[in-house]
Structure formats: structure tokens, C-alpha cells
Amino acid sequence: MSAFNNKVCLVTGGTSGIGRRVSERLWEDGAQVIVFGRDVNKGEQMANSLGRGCHFMPCDVADPEQIARAFKDIEDTYGRLDCAFNNAGITAQYASVADSCPDNWQQVININVNGTYHCLRHELGLMLKTGEGGAIVNTSSCAGVMPIGGQVAYVASKQAINAMTQVASIEYAEGAGAGRPIRVNAVAPGPILGGMNSNERLKASPKNTQRKIDVTAMKRFGTADEVANAVLWLLSEQSTYVTGIVMPIDGGYAAGKF
Ligand SMILES: NC(=O)c1ccc[n+]([C@@H]2O[C@H](COP(=O)([O-])OP(=O)(O)OC[C@H]3O[C@@H](n4cnc5c(N)ncnc54)[C@H](OP(=O)(O)O)[C@@H]3O)[C@@H](O)[C@H]2O)c1
């Protein structure tokens, strides 16, 4: 039997890059996949190409009311949630702290921090209601493990995601009441091809591209599949004694300075 047979799994930011690959892999493993994103064309195209078992729900995670409506829809349609991958996120404009733009700070915090927080709240609420436990993975970043300059909002947002992961993991590790445990972990990808590192972006700034390669011990970009391997493991029954970790998937970036 497939690992996620008939499990109801939510992927936020599932319309492109890492989130899209995780959605496809969950679907290939038998899950019923719900995808959140803002781009309705991309989302519907994706749901149509996968077909039965993939459900795109337009949802801007920066808007708590849209999130509340989408979760009501999930509850009405499926009555449960088994797994969630909170992956919707954006990078910050490149600038030192003094030169950074407060509007951009607010936008990054609204999507990366508040979006993850509100989704996490609803996911835990729904999982607690069924009492059958669950598994949640949040997307942090190698920059949330070892901060980088020029990205204050992004680094702060990813460190907040690490904190939310750890707090929620402690609170639900034993389950609540008669309910089964809910595990909460995070992945911290290094530079990954596609998505934020699309071919066009990499070609447009070769110096920056080389810098991203050089910060990894393996001297290469990772792939969305390499991140998906870790996410699916953390969501699966293979990792039942793992909760509260922020797992680097980064070609050795966080291993040390070299
Ligand atoms: N690629 C990397 O090298 C790398 C490294 C470390 C961490 N990460 C993290 O991995 C995650 C995915 O990155 P990616 O490279 O795969 O980027 P991407 O291709 O740009 O994907 C971002 C996804 O987030 C969604 N999204 C953005 N803002 C949203 C909002 N307000 N509401 C709902 N969905 C929203 C986008 O969908 P719509 O456009 O449809 O809204 C898209 O599906 C991010 O959290 C990022 O910080 C990436």
C-alpha cells in the first residue's frame, strides 16, 4: 500500500518550486492533496494535470480571513487533516538593515511568519478535533539556521518559523486528551534549483549564483526532489519518534565554516 494512501494532506505554496514537487510526490503516494496558492491559473492547471485527488484552493496566507474560509472548506469537504506542509514563502529585497524597506519587512513577515502561524493554528485545531494525530512540516531555510546579511526580514521570518515548530512540537508531542500525538518539524533547505532559483534568475546574476554554490560543502545546488524526500519522510510513519527538529537539507551549508 502507498505510504499516504487516502491521507488528507495540505501543501501551502504548492503551485510551484519545492511545494509543487512535494504535492506531486504526496499525490503519487496516494494522498488526497489540497494545495494553497494565490495564482489561480497555475493552481488550476496543476490540479487538472494531476486530476482526481488534487484540489487547488485559492488562498493568500497573508490574509487570516482567507485562511479561515479555506480551513472551513477543508473541514466541510474532508472532515479531517492528516498532514500539512507549510511552505508558502517569499524572500526579502536585498538590503542592509538601515537601508531595508519597512513595507518589504511587513510583507515578508505577513506571508512567512503570520501565514505560517495562522495555518499552523488551524491545522492543529483540525487534527485535535479528529483526535487521530498528524504530522506537520514547516519550511525554514539554511538562512534561518545560519543567518546571512542583506536579508533581515527573511532571516527573522525563518527563525520565527523554527521557534513555532519547536513550541508546537513540545505542546502536542503527547497528544491532547485522548488524542494521538501531532508531530511538528521543519526543513531548512540550502540553495535549491527552481522556484526562487529559476534558470532566468540564476543566469541574470552569475556572481550571486556562484556565491550560492560556494556556500555549500557539496558545491552544488540541491533539487526540489531532494527536499521532498525529507519532507515525505518527516510526514510519514517512518519518522514516528521525530518531532521538533529543524532539518538542514543544504549540501553541508550548516555543517560549519570552510
Ligand atoms: N529555493 C530555495 O533555494 C529555498 C531555500 C530555502 C528555503 N526556501 C523556502 O522554500 C519555500 C518555497 O520556495 P521555492 O523556492 O519553491 O519558491 P517559489 O517557487 O517561489 O514558491 C513559493 C510558493 O509560495 C506561494 N506563495 C507565496 N506567497 C504566498 C501567499 N501570500 N499565499 C499563498 N501562497 C503563497 C507561491 O504560490 P502563488 O504564487 O500561487 O501564490 C508558490 O507556490 C519558501 O518558503 C522559501 O523560503 C527555498
Using the mean position of ligand 1's atoms as its centre, give its distance from the Cα of residue 11 in Å.
11
The preferred substitution site among 12, 33, 38 for testing ligand 1, maximizing ligand atoms within 8 Å of CB, is 38
Residue-wise pLDDT tens for the chain (258 aa)? 689 999 999 999 999 999 999 999 999 999 999 999 999 999 999 999 999 999 999 999 999 999 999 999 999 999 999 999 999 999 999 999 999 999 999 999 999 999 999 999 999 999 999 999 999 999 999 999 999 999 999 999 999 999 999 999 999 999 877 779 999 999 999 999 998 899 999 999 999 999 999 999 999 999 999 999 999 999 999 999 999 999 999 999 999 887
| CA 162 from centroid of its chain's CA atoms | 12
Spacing, Cα 7 to ligand 1 middle (Å): 23
Q: To the nearest 10°, the Cα dihedral for 193, 30, 75, 22?
A: -10
Mutate which of 45, 61, 87, 216 for ligand 1? The one with the most ligand atoms within 8 Å of its CB, which is 87
**Ligand 1 atom with least separation from CA of 111:** 31
Q: Find the 245 Cα to ligand 1 centroid distance in Å.
A: 21
Please tell me the predicted confidence (pLDDT) of residue 176: 73
> Among the atoms of ligand 1, which is closest to the Cα of residue 197?
1
Domain 8-193+223-250 has CATH 3.40.50.720: yes
The set of protein residues with a Cβ atom below 6 angstroms from ligand 1 is 12-19, 36-39, 42, 59-62, 87-90, 111, 115, 139, 141, 189, 191-192, 195-197
Position 1 scores a pLDDT of 66
Q: Distance between CA atoms of 232 and 178, rounded to whole angstroms?
A: 26
**Using CA atoms, how far apart are residues 122 and 131, in angstroms rounded to an integer?**
14
Catalytic residues: 154
Output the CA 254–ligand 1 centroid distance in Å: 21
Atom 2 of ligand 1: nearest residue by CA position: 192
Nearest CA to ligand 1 atom 41: 38
Q: In the structure grid, which three cell numbers stand for residue 242, read together?
A: 521525530
C-beta separation of 253 from 216 below 8 A: yes
Q: How is the chain classified by DSSP, letter by letter?
A: --TTTT-EEEEET-SSHHHHHHHHHHHHTT-EEEEEES-HHHHHHHHHHH-TTEEEEE--TT-HHHHHHHHHHHHHHHS---EEEE----PPPSB-GGG--HHHHHHHIIIIIIHHHHHHHHHHHHHHHHTS-EEEEEE--HHHHS--TTBHHHHHHHHHHHHHHHHHHHHHTT-STTPPPEEEEEEEE-SBSBTTB-HHHHHH-HHHHHHHHHTSTT-S-B-HHHHHHHHHHHHSGGGTT--S-EEEESTTGGG---
For ligand 1, atom 17, which residue shows the shortest CA distance?
195
Torsion-angle region of 200 (φ positive above 0: left; ψ -120 to 50: alpha; else: beta): alpha
Cα 164 to Cα 66, 75, 169, 230: the distances in Å are 21, 23, 8, 19
pLDDT given at position 86:
99
Q: Which residue lies with its CA nearest to atom 45 of ligand 1? A: 89
Contact 104, 96 (CB under 8 A): no
What local confidence, expressed as pLDDT, does residue 2 receive?
87
Pick from 133, 130, 143, 112: nearest CA to 184: 133
C-alpha cell, 201: 534568475
pTM, to two decimals: 0.98
Distance 91 CA to ligand 1 centre (A): 8
Give the start-to-end residue ranges of the domains of the chain.
Answer: 8-193+223-250
Rounded-to-integer distance, Cα 56 and Cα 35, Å: 5
